[in-house]
Amino acid sequence: MREPVIRNLAALARERARRYPTLTITGPRQSGKTTLCRLAFPDGAGSA
């Protein structure tokens, strides 16, 4: 059940990353932040 939520958030993250120069994803430990980033930006674009 988490996968559809992460996919929807990944699409939103990509859209926001196109509009804004920075994107911050926050949340509690083990909530899927890294998974979301890897799904939204598989080539690592924009990583520091």
Q: Is residue 21 part of a domain?
A: yes
User: What is the tally of structural domains in the chain?
Assistant: 1
Question: Closest Cα to residue 35, out of 1, 14, 7?
Answer: 7
CA–CA distance, 5 with 40 (Å, rounded to integer): 12
Question: Closest Cα to residue 9, out of 44, 41, 48?
Answer: 41
**pLDDT tens, residue by residue, 16-48:** 999 998 999 999 999 889 989 999 999 886 555
Q: Is residue 26 part of a domain?
A: yes
pLDDT score at 30:
92
Q: Is residue 48 part of a domain?
A: no
pLDDT score at 45:
65
Q: Is residue 35 part of a domain?
A: yes
Q: Is 44 left (phi over 0), alpha (psi -120 to 50) or beta?
A: left
Domain boundaries, position 13 = 2-40
Rg (CA), the chain: 10
